[in-house]
Chain A
Amino acid sequence: GNSVTQMEGPVTLSEEAFLTINCTYTATGYPSLFWYVQYPGEGLQLLLKATKADDKGSNKGFEATYRKETTSFHLEKGSVQVSDSAVYFCALTLNNAGNMLTFGGGTRLMVKP
């Protein structure tokens, strides 16, 4: 079956630190990959996406590269801000019937001033 594994949190960083949240996946086929972010009290928002190998998704200073050889999609940001404090979810879909998403368990990021 398909699965997504994320590093467990919480991840606590100081403002302006470098962020990496690891995500690896198992899938039968060629998935599209996503990072979603959930701010406190809100729904999930799409942060970035990549639809094929070697694609780099980017948004709001966050980046992730679709690495087929290591089945990974790690999220990075060069300098985090307090406002980046949220829960981050890695997810995949196989673009087949239903566009079903498989989610990782989520990683809570806390950024301290």
Chain B
Amino acid sequence: DAGITQSPRHKVTETGTPVTLRCHQTENHRYMYWYRQDPGHGLRLIHYSYGVKDTDKGEVSDGYSVSRSKTEDFLLTLESATSSQTSVYFCAISATSGSYEQYFGPGTRLTVT
């Protein structure tokens, strides 16, 4: 299994509070991604990173920001959480060679009350 961990695994927070989710990899892969998974929507890309300090927006980036100060860590921040951001968040990583598949972390279940 690819070495990807996410923290926390579960979080309940109140509307309007800031939240940061962490993704940590031990594979030294260049690319990292944040997705959200919601019933009826499958997986949707929030942001991704193609190197240290290099990030770009995905399909559903509004209300989210990311940072990557080290190869191994990719942080997702909700500046002011809203109930619509209640979801399961997955981190993924991908190498720059081979068949380019992505490997996923175990997920973080976030509930915004």
Residues on A facing B (Cβ under 8 Å): 32, 34, 36, 42-46, 49, 51, 89, 93, 95, 97-101, 103-106
Contact = CB atoms under 8 A, between A and B. Distances in A.
**Prevailing SS type, chain B contact patch:** strand
A78 to B, nearest CB: 24
Contacts of A100: 45, 48
Given A45-B104, A99-B94, A89 B50 contact: no
B101 A103 contact: no
Interface of B: 31, 41-43, 45, 48, 50, 56, 90, 92, 94, 96, 99-107
A106 B90 CA distance: 16
Contacts of B106: 42-43
Nearest to B49: A98
A69 B64 CA distance: 40
Given A44-B92, A95-B99, A99-B96, 9 more contacts: A32-B100, A42-B106, A43-B104, A43-B105, A46-B101, A46-B102, A89-B43, A98-B31, A103-B43
Nearest to B103: A46
A52 B78 CA distance: 39
